[in-house]
Structure 1
Amino acid sequence: MDELFHYEAKKTKHLVRVEVTDEKITFLAVNAAAWVFEADIKDIVGCHLMKNVSLNDPYLRIFYYPFDDRRTRRRQIIVDLKPAGDKAYDDCLKIKLMILRASCGFPRDWSDYDTLKTIENLQKLIILINPKSGKGNARKTFTSKVVPLLSEANIGCDAVFTTGPNHARRLLKTMDLTVYRGIVVISGDGLLFEVINGLLEREDWETAIQVPLGIIPQGSGNGIARTLADAQNEPYHLDPVLTSTLNIIRARPKAVDLMRVLQRFPDESEKTYYAVLSVGYGLLADIDIESERLRSLGESRFTIWAVLRLIGLKTYRMKVSYLQAEPGDKGETQPQRLSPRLFRSTTEVEKPRNDELMRRTISADTNIISDPLEPFADNQIEYGDLAEDFVAADTFGPSSKYSPLTGEIPSDWVTIEGDFVLVYAVLQRFIGTDNMFAPKSKMDDGLIYLLLIRGDASRGQLFQFLTSFESGTHVDVPCCEMIPVKAFRLEPQTSEGNLTIDGEKVPTAPVQVEILPSFYRVFMR
């Protein structure tokens, strides 16, 4: 199908024929041999019916985000199409329906306008914002960057500003999720950790964990957001907020691996956590936790503290046991429920306040909602108290496939006991913006990448290790052992040192970790 419209490019007006297919929109100049341009469907953020306030004429506005010429970032292009025919409203509506049909992946013969109303009711997001994360810019990022983009896509949201540790986890344990199409965090990886654990502490955890998640990086470490961009060959460094928000708008759910972490304490009680990124003990965990006092410096705090920890290097006595993955081994995946593209549309012609001068002021429903939880004082929860607020092991969530922590180590596991500088296990390729920790990792490969550095490593080797993350060549440093595993057990022989789960400190006590393949879903393009 194609319709005629007036289109202005570089101050030149064209009469163009608009052709919409499943893959692209083509704007062909009438009576000219060359086409004006093509737009990839997946790069279109929103399509709006507008009205010229002075002339009362409808027109179509398309928000389009292609790569720049060097593919280093995406840039905004706004296309205004004014119908050339007599049936202006009908022509605009027809093109809008075709764009929505292609974007949502509906069949070619789909033309049911009532379906748009159904989609509209499914599109609201719940957005959780940690205003103190990283350099403290999350609130400004939400209002100045995220809300305008969601408005272009006409996606509504409810926003909650978290007030302290575990706020998001407690909130999601009881929140009615049926009114939301997805959950988005604007923070670092720690808030995503809270969200996952809150969902898996619900009685309906099997349903709740199917709700797709999005992350917009604003933390000191942004490993998940960086991994998502890398997996899609998307530009990240110049505008990570744009790249991540476009993932949420495009909204193709992708299954991702998770780690189940069981911890046992001296009083014989146990806690279960779920890790999206890492479990670590020793040098890297020490750097992560002890550098918190430099949080205002952003990710550079890790570099500064790494130098200090190399000067005062420590080793820790521990026993590490693991089930090594076989070559080509991959975990069993969970069944996936595919959903239409996240696209919230309106059924009436929209009336912008400033007509042609309007650029980023289209308004979707954005609500700052109150929360029943009492605010936390800044000093109310100290590091090391995270486990105290978690439910007892196995209350909800999936059960373990392996013997308990109190049981014998299985005969097919490898056990090493001795002094270590660090033990660090990761799921994803990046643990920070520029830290390619597990170069061979894929988001759903069903593997945990366990890195060991023993106590006889020299400071020179450790310096080489710490300065090679960006390229991923740290795995070639002689002191490093990177082992793909399905499960492992870590038993510290001392109470000293920092043990972290997704960068959050927990008590130094034995843990058993296992892979949960393709267990939760994230928004991707």
Structure 2
Amino acid sequence: MENQILFQAPLIPITHQSGQTNTHPETTATLTANTLTWVKNGINQVLSLDDVVGASDLGETVGINHNINHPYWFVIHAYPVGEKRWGFFFRQRTRVLQEYHFACTDQTAVQTWITAIRNTLQGLPPNAPPQPPRRLGVILNPASGKKKAREIFNQVRPLLVQSHCQLTITETTGRNDGDLGDRGLDIAAIDALVVVGGDGTIHEVINRLANDADKLAIQKIPLGVIPGGTGNGLCQSLLAISGESYSPINAAFLIAKGRVKALDIGLVEEANRRYYSFLALSWGLVSDVDIESDVLRFLGALKNDVYALIRLIFLRIYPGKLSFVLHDSDEPDKWQMIEGDFILFWAMNVPWATYNLQPAPKACLDDGAIDLIIIRRGSSKLQLLQAFWQAADGSHLSLPNVEYYKVQRFRLEPLNNQGILAVDGERVDCQPIEFVMSRGIARVFC
């Protein structure tokens, strides 16, 4: 069925070469669920729809000079994997825009082709009625990370527009402004949310959705992420799971393609409040680095690496008690307990904590489990350094001083008031805290 012909009609290929526009003879083009094929200069041309985000006509590309001297034409926007270079040595595999231009005999034929391509990309019959644009609510936090969220969004905005999306953009004023209740974001008027910011902004948005008057909002509204923060752990996890390299344009590509997966969300309970977590809960060395390294924010992504070395030299020990129920346990009340001196405690919902650190390689988006990484007192500084080094690719789990558990819930009790607890990279009170996972209640573009 994948190669079944869904739509077939004449097209006139148009190419650009050496500043010249060439109109080729009319050919019969064929659309299947996976490809668009046509003939140019006697050679079969095949375009994979896996790389295509949309199609537009002249009226939808106003302001863009395509230099086409034909009254009826349209363009297909594709983003195949290519390579960008910075200097001689640094290369990055990322998706790069490649456009295909075609002319038709009249405007009706143009609109018929555009509708057929858009519908096929959405899994609809080509001859189904034209679909309205997807309404994306974009939450942009200009204070995230190195304060380049606007610049990053401007880089990816054309891709989202090309994928037949209507954008409503709301800027936050900084941290703790993620609920946006009085800032014009109407949850009922959008089909999906896109966050351009860091994991802290995503945390606020997740809690906004979870506490919406529509109790099913978090299940109904897919969430997309454009990396605009420092760590960007969720974004990297989604990209890695999808087989994409880490870059803003690749993150936007996932949103444009519109495929969604379920995401577990954790309920966090303290003595005086409850809220939701999507990424991680940390205590000890990890949260020290995560929170205290903000004084080095000017270093960008390097701030965590530099501060981690400082904390390894001046190591701290944290006494505490951890109780948990294993994920594969059939007895929800069968708690296990670890009490003693901890160096670090990391509870992960997704594989990546930052774009370059993978502490939980066995974590899945929707397995209903929390992945615990523990290192206790007795590990040398060299062993700790090795663990951090190998966490870049997840191979640290083979080290004898690293403990790894998959659990369905846990309770952490710091035995003194010193130290830092962090949830999704945001500092919370250092007090007993309980974490219970809810399986697959959110949706993300992946």
TM-score by shorter chain over 0.5? yes
| CA–CA distance in structure 2, aligned partners of residues 71 and 222 of structure 1 | 18
- The answer for the alignment partner of 1:59 in structure 2 is 73
Rate the CA distance shift 1:125–1:223 in 2: closer, same or farther, 3 A. Answer: same
> Which of 89-98 and 317-326 deviates more?
89-98
- The answer for the alignment partner of 2:4 in structure 1 is none
Query: Is residue 2:97 matched to residue 1:76?
Result: yes
- The answer for the alignment partner of 1:352 in structure 2 is none
Q: Which amino acid in structure 2 is aligned with residue 325 of structure 1?
A: H
Query: Is residue 2:14 matched to residue 1:7?
Result: yes
Rate the CA distance shift 1:78–1:432 in 2: closer, same or farther, 3 A. Answer: same
Rate the CA distance shift 1:107–1:230 in 2: closer, same or farther, 3 A. Answer: same
Task: Give 1:151 shift.
Answer: 2.5
Query: Is the partner of 2:220 in helix, strand or coil?
Result: coil
- The answer for the alignment partner of 1:257 in structure 2 is 264
- The answer for the alignment partner of 1:128 in structure 2 is 139
Query: Is residue 2:37 matched to residue 1:26?
Result: yes
Task: Give 1:99 shift.
Answer: 0.4
Q: Which amino acid in structure 1 is aligned with residue 310 of structure 2?
A: L
- The answer for the alignment partner of 1:158 in structure 2 is 168
Q: Which structure features the higher share of strand residues?
A: 2
Query: Is residue 2:396 matched to residue 1:499?
Result: no
Query: Is residue 2:393 matched to residue 1:482?
Result: no
Which runs of 5 or more structure 2 residues have no equivalent in the other structure? Answer: 1-7, 60-65, 84-90
Rate the CA distance shift 1:3–1:172 in 2: closer, same or farther, 3 A. Answer: farther
- The answer for the alignment partner of 1:449 in structure 2 is 371
Query: Is the partner of 1:313 in helix, strand or coil?
Result: coil
2:214 pairs, out of 188, 204, 211, with 204
Task: Give 1:451 shift.
Answer: 1.1
CA contact under 8 A between 2:175 and 2:200: conserved in structure 1? no
- Kindly report which structure 2 residues correspond to 1:79-158, keeping only aligned pairs within 5 A, or say none: 79-83=100-104, 87-107=105-125, 110-113=127-130, 116=131, 119-120=132-133, 123-143=134-154, 145-158=155-168
> Which of 168-177 and 2-11 deviates more?
168-177
Query: Is residue 2:63 matched to residue 1:49?
Result: no
TM-score by length of 1: 0.76
- List per-residue Cα deviations over 1:194-252 (Å, max 9, x = no partner): 0011112223222344211111001111111111111111122xxx1100111111112
Task: Give 1:310 shift.
Answer: 0.7
CA contact under 8 A between 2:218 and 2:441: conserved in structure 1? no
- Kindly report which structure 2 residues correspond to 1:169-248, keeping only aligned pairs within 5 A, or say none: 169-171=179-181, 175-236=185-246, 240-248=247-255
Query: Is the partner of 2:342 in helix, strand or coil?
Result: strand
CA contact under 8 A between 2:54 and 2:117: conserved in structure 1? no
| CA–CA distance in structure 2, aligned partners of residues 174 and 416 of structure 1 | 47
| CA–CA distance in structure 2, aligned partners of residues 227 and 55 of structure 1 | 45
CA contact under 8 A between 1:17 and 1:29: conserved in structure 2? no
Q: Where does structure 1 differ by over 4 angstroms across 4 or more consecutive aligned residues?
A: 9-13, 51-56, 172-175
Which runs of 5 or more structure 1 residues have no equivalent in the other structure? Answer: 265-269, 330-400, 403-409
- The answer for the alignment partner of 1:388 in structure 2 is none
Rate the CA distance shift 1:289–1:55 in 2: closer, same or farther, 3 A. Answer: closer
| CA–CA distance in structure 2, aligned partners of residues 107 and 153 of structure 1 | 18
Larger RCO, structure (CA 8 Å, separation 6 or more): 1
- Kindly report which structure 2 residues correspond to 1:405-424, keeping only aligned pairs within 5 A, or say none: 410=333, 412-424=334-346
Task: Give 1:10 shift.
Answer: 4.2
| CA–CA distance in structure 2, aligned partners of residues 505 and 111 of structure 1 | 50
> Which of 509-518 and 152-161 deviates more?
152-161
TM-score by length of 2: 0.89
1:283 pairs, out of 279, 282, 285, with 285
| CA–CA distance in structure 2, aligned partners of residues 452 and 172 of structure 1 | 41
- Percent identity over the alignment is 30
> Which of 179-188 and 88-97 deviates more?
88-97
- The answer for the alignment partner of 1:360 in structure 2 is none
- Kindly report which structure 2 residues correspond to 1:340-489, keeping only aligned pairs within 5 A, or say none: 410=333, 412-489=334-411
| CA–CA distance in structure 2, aligned partners of residues 111 and 203 of structure 1 | 34
CA contact under 8 A between 1:2 and 1:18: conserved in structure 2? yes
| CA–CA distance in structure 2, aligned partners of residues 165 and 54 of structure 1 | 47
CA contact under 8 A between 2:146 and 2:230: conserved in structure 1? yes
Q: Which amino acid in structure 2 is aligned with residue 308 of structure 1?
A: I
- List per-residue Cα deviations over 1:117-155 (Å, max 9, x = no partner): xx23xx221111111211111111223x12222222242
Query: Is the partner of 1:244 in helix, strand or coil?
Result: helix
| CA–CA distance in structure 1, aligned partners of residues 125 and 158 of structure 2 | 30
| CA–CA distance in structure 1, aligned partners of residues 300 and 199 of structure 2 | 13
2:436 pairs, out of 514, 517, 521, with 514
CA contact under 8 A between 2:359 and 2:373: conserved in structure 1? no
Task: Give 1:498 shift.
Answer: 0.5
| CA–CA distance in structure 1, aligned partners of residues 39 and 70 of structure 2 | 27
Task: Give 1:7 shift.
Answer: 2.3
- The answer for the alignment partner of 1:39 in structure 2 is 47
Query: Is the partner of 1:73 in helix, strand or coil?
Result: strand
| CA–CA distance in structure 2, aligned partners of residues 437 and 176 of structure 1 | 36
CA contact under 8 A between 1:172 and 1:199: conserved in structure 2? no
Query: Is the partner of 1:432 in helix, strand or coil?
Result: coil
| CA–CA distance in structure 2, aligned partners of residues 458 and 426 of structure 1 | 24
Rate the CA distance shift 1:500–1:173 in 2: closer, same or farther, 3 A. Answer: farther
CA contact under 8 A between 1:429 and 1:436: conserved in structure 2? yes
Rate the CA distance shift 1:309–1:54 in 2: closer, same or farther, 3 A. Answer: closer
Q: Which amino acid in structure 2 is aligned with residue 64 of structure 1?
A: A
Q: Which amino acid in structure 1 is aligned with residue 266 of structure 2?
A: M
Q: Which amino acid in structure 2 is aligned with residue 453 of structure 1?
A: I
Rate the CA distance shift 1:502–1:173 in 2: closer, same or farther, 3 A. Answer: farther
| CA–CA distance in structure 1, aligned partners of residues 180 and 96 of structure 2 | 38
CA contact under 8 A between 2:210 and 2:217: conserved in structure 1? no
